[in-house]
Amino acid sequence: MARSALLNVMVQAAMKAGRSLSRDFGEVQNLQVSMKGPGDYVSQADRKAEDILFTELSKARPGYAFLMEERGAIKGDDDQHRWIVDPLDGTTNFLHGIPIFSISIALERQGQIVAAVIYNPAMDELYTTERGGGAFMNDRRLRVAGRSKLTDCVIGCGVPHLGRGHHGNFLVELRNVMAEVSGVRRMGSAALDLAYVAAGRMDGFWETGLSAWDIAAGLLLIREAGGFVSDMDGGQDMLEAGSVVAGNEVIQRALLKAVKKPLSAR
Ligand code: IPD
Ligand code: CA
Ligand code: CA
């Protein structure tokens, strides 16, 4: 598969950061048995991966702005372009030695996401997309799943936890969705969740309380795989709202309706 120069830059950066995360993931697995656990080590791994991405991307495209999880917003001379980067999405999995984590890079041009890469180094799965050019995993073209009934669907979600999110609201959403689908999954990396929807592995996904770097890349991947995305109000402000509901055209609509169903309607 021939990639554009831009996508090549993004893939090279993701692979380099991925090699660093892979090395550290090996070590994390050894540290599980220590009483202190691998907490500090993982923060370092996260920062190291972000350093690599920052260095590689700024070298290849000087002046582009950044929004990164650890560094925050960094202004650039070029006000048309912004990288939105999560160097390690799925930190809790990484910390526990679960090989479901990813690097997520999106490029925004004039406020529109135009290219994206999501890489899971533990499984060597590389998701790439450019606006108008389709979505790929390694060299395979992606298409969202074609199921049209929620009852046949496996749906992914995010579960709030200690100190995060609105637990009561989530329980209502889950209660609504689980009553209508054939399975619910919680993978622990929002970027990969969206990639799995793009790949047709999961039929849909919803989560709230997210940050732009969790979802920017996955949103384009899903659209380019023929899927649909909205925020929890059915609008297109996913990055600002930090929420997403995804699926094919029919399932996205049905899932949004299920998620939003008030308790009294049951
Ligand atoms: C988290 C993951 C997780 C989602 C959380 C995110 P992190 O990102 O994407 O799946 O449920 O809301 O914060 O902290 O591992 O980069
Ligand atoms: Ca992260
Ligand atoms: Ca994240």
Q: Which tens digits make up the pLDDT trace of 208-236?
A: 999 999 999 999 999 999 999 999 999 99
Would the CA dihedral through 35, 39, 40, 44 be positive or negative?
positive
Going along the chain from its start, the domains and CATH numbers come out as: 5-141 (3.30.540.10), 150-261 (3.40.190.80)
List residues, by chain if needed, whose CB lies under 5 Å from ion ligand 2: 69, 86, 88
- Mean pLDDT over each residue of the chain, to the nearest integer: 95
Rounded to whole angstroms, the Cα distance separating 121 from 90 reads 12
**Could you give the C-alpha distances from 179 to 52, 170, 174, 175, in angstroms and in order?**
44, 14, 8, 6
Question: Would you say how long the chain is, in residues?
Answer: 266
DSSP H or E stretch at residue 224: helix 212-224
Give residue-wise pLDDT tens across range 95-137.
Answer: 999 999 999 999 999 999 999 999 999 999 999 999 999 999 9
Q: Could you tell me the distance, in angstroms and rounded to a whole number, from the CA of residue 159 to the centre of ligand 2?
A: 16
**Could you give the C-alpha distances from 126 to 6, 8, 105, 117, 197, in angstroms and in order?**
15, 12, 12, 7, 14
Instruction: Give the side-chain half-sphere CA count within 13 A for 156.
Output: 23
Give residue-wise pLDDT tens across range 22-54.
Answer: 999 999 888 777 777 788 888 999 999 999 999
Atom of ligand 1 nearest to the CA of 89: 16
In this prediction, residue 266 carries a pLDDT of: 52
Q: How confident is the model at residue 163 (pLDDT cuts 50, 70, 90)?
A: confident
Is the confidence at residue 264, as pLDDT, over 70? no
Is the confidence at residue 177, as pLDDT, over 70? yes
Atom of ligand 1 nearest to the CA of 165: 12
| CA nearest neighbour of 255 among 220, 227, 213, 224 | 227
| CA nearest neighbour of 177 among 193, 157, 162, 159 | 157
For 147, the 3-state DSSP assignment is coil
Site to substitute for ligand 1 among 25, 89, 184, most atoms within 8 A of C-beta: 89
In this prediction, residue 265 carries a pLDDT of: 58
Q: Could you tell me the distance, in angstroms and rounded to a whole number, from the CA of residue 24 to the centre of ligand 1?
A: 19
